[in-house]
Amino acid sequence: KQEVTQIPAALSVPEGENLVLNCSFTDSAIYNLQWFRQDPGKGLTSLLLIQSSQREQTSGRLNASLDKSSGRSTLYIAASQPGDSATYLCAPLINKFYFGSGTKLNVKP
Amino acid sequence: GAGVSQSPSNKVTEKGKDVELRCDPISGHTALYWYRQSLGQGLEFLIYFQGNSAPDKSGLPSDRFSAERTGGSVSTLTIQRTQQEDSAVYLCASSLERDRGLHTFGSGTRLTVV
């Protein structure tokens, strides 16, 4: 069974800092990996999707990298803003998503 | 519709009652997933529908849980004889098969069993 670990579990930073959220997974036979954002009381919002053949994807201030062979992905957030405060979930996909427990991010104004 | 729609958004039920949760996926999406998130826990896979194939039920926690997908579109998750540990947010997602990803999630149904 796929095990997904996200580090750190929680992170509190002042506005403007660059951040790195880490994700590791045990089964590297994935189709792709997706990063989601979850706001309290809301559903999940897809942020970035990296196919297994890709090394990274970028969207605005977000950059996600994938090292499939070592079972790692990172989400880089540049110039963090208070609106980035949320829980970030990493989810590698085999026939279904396996989710980590997330990193709870708080960006202080 | 434009997104995945789930209803109800909130449900409070008495222990022992049955509940039905509904998911309307994005039109044309052949894959549909149910997950749940208990308080303080990560997302837990429940069941996966793909087209006309037999569903992957490997995540259902007990035989009190069942799900149907009628006409390859709307899905209903049924929980019989609810227990307090069933209290969670139940999330539905859909995707196009060929994308194997680009999952779009609904806003969830928050179930509270009292």
Nearest CA in chain B to A101: B42
The alpha carbon dihedral of A49, B104, B77, B74 has a sign of negative
Q: pLDDT per residue over A5-40, tens digit each?
A: 999 999 999 999 999 999 999 988 888 899 999 887
pLDDT digits (tens, 9 = 90+) for B32-64: 999 998 876 778 889 989 888 888 898 999 999
**What residue in B sits closest to A37 (Cα-Cα)?**
B105
pLDDT at position B95 = 86
Q: With 70 as the cut, is the pLDDT of residue A41 above it? A: no
Closest-CA residue to A87 (of A31, A42, A26, A33): A42
Q: Using the beta-carbon criterion (under 8 Å), do B104 and A102 form an inter-chain contact? A: no
pLDDT at res. A97:
76
Contacts of B106 in chain A (CB under 8 A): 43
More confident residue, B101 or A70: A70
Q: What is the rounded CA–CA span in Å between residue A40 and residue A34?
A: 19
